[in-house]
Structure 1
Amino acid sequence: MELAQVRLLVEDFRSCYRFYRDVLGLKPQFEAEDGPYAKFLCDGGPAGIALQERADMADVLQELAGPTAGYRSLVVLRVDDVDGYCTEITGRGADLVHGPGPMTDRMRVAHLKDPEGNIVELQEWLVLRSGSAD
């Protein structure tokens, strides 16, 4: 398992995108100023900071919908076999809140919460973007 990203769920995607790109100077993995998703690479590895429009992620996890949802971020972990790993961790007491299932044609995901209620996304990449880590 490896850390893939810390993803920030945002309302004003364009402003946040410009902040991470123009103010902090992080390099976007691909140009996506209009969203709904972008990943900024950090020096020294494939993990990075990602932005995702809150409404876009609410299509996957319904509890993120609405102004009182409260979630601002989630931790993303990449695994080799999301179905097998979910079977393993549910046997150790994890409760899945979504999946495993397809998120796009390139990946399968599952979501669970830690004891404090923070969202953890498990990703299995089926197809990588050409020339990139994800």
Structure 2
Amino acid sequence: MELAQVRLLVSDFASCYRFYADILGLKPQSGASEGPYEKFSPAIGSAGIALQDRSAMAELLDELDEPATGHRSLVVLRVDDLDAYCERIAGRGGVVVHGPAPLTERMRVAHLRDPEGNLVELQEWLLLRG
């Protein structure tokens, strides 16, 4: 397993984008200043931080009735075999609340919550960036 990123779930994507890009000086990966997703990288190191529109995550998890201040962060872990990992989690008493399911043509995901309700996303990358 590999830590892929820590993702902040935000309501005002454009303002948060400007903060991380213009104020902190992190480099945006794609320039998607209006969202719903952007990853930022520091000048040194490989770890990054990402922003995702909170309502997009609520829609994915079918939680549209959740308050706007619901989920605030998401720990993202990359695994090699998502189905096998989810089976192991279930065998240990964990509950997958969404997935495994395709997210994009490059990735499948599953979501679960820790005991405090924090979201964890498991990713299986199908195609690496070229």
RMSD: 1.4
TM-score (norm 1): 0.89
Q: 1:65 to 1:24 in 2, by over 3 A?
A: farther
Give the gaps of 5 or more residues in structure 2. none
Name the CA distance, whole Å, in 2 between partners of 1:111 and 1:27. 27
Name the CA distance, whole Å, in 2 between partners of 1:70 and 1:109. 20
Q: Which amino acid aligns with 1:58?
A: A
**1:101 is matched with which residue?**
101
Find out whether 1:24 has 2:21 as its counterpart: no
Query: Which deviations, in whole Å up to 9, do the C-alpha atoms of 1:76-115 show, x marking residues without a partner?
Result: 0011111111011111111110011111111000001111
Q: Where do 4+ consecutive residues of structure 1 move more than 4 Å?
A: none
**2:92 is matched with which residue?**
92
Q: 1:51 to 1:25 in 2, by over 3 A?
A: same
Q: 1:96 to 1:114 in 2, by over 3 A?
A: same
- Residue 66 of structure 1: CA displacement? 3.9
Name the CA distance, whole Å, in 1 between partners of 2:14 and 2:37. 10
Q: 1:103 to 1:65 in 2, by over 3 A?
A: farther
TM-score (norm 2): 0.92
User: Per the alignment, in what secondary structure is the counterpart of residue 80 of structure 1?
Assistant: coil
Identity across the alignment (%): 70
**2:41 is matched with which residue?**
41
Q: Which amino acid aligns with 2:120?
A: V
Length, aligned pairs only: 129
Per mean C-alpha deviation after superposition, the further-off stretch among 53-62 and 1-10 is 53-62
Q: Which amino acid aligns with 1:4?
A: A
Give the gaps of 5 or more residues in structure 1. none
Name the CA distance, whole Å, in 2 between partners of 1:65 and 1:51. 21
Name the CA distance, whole Å, in 2 between partners of 1:109 and 1:50. 16
Contact 1:55-1:65 at 8 Å conserved across structures: no
User: Per the alignment, in what secondary structure is the counterpart of residue 63 of structure 1?
Assistant: coil
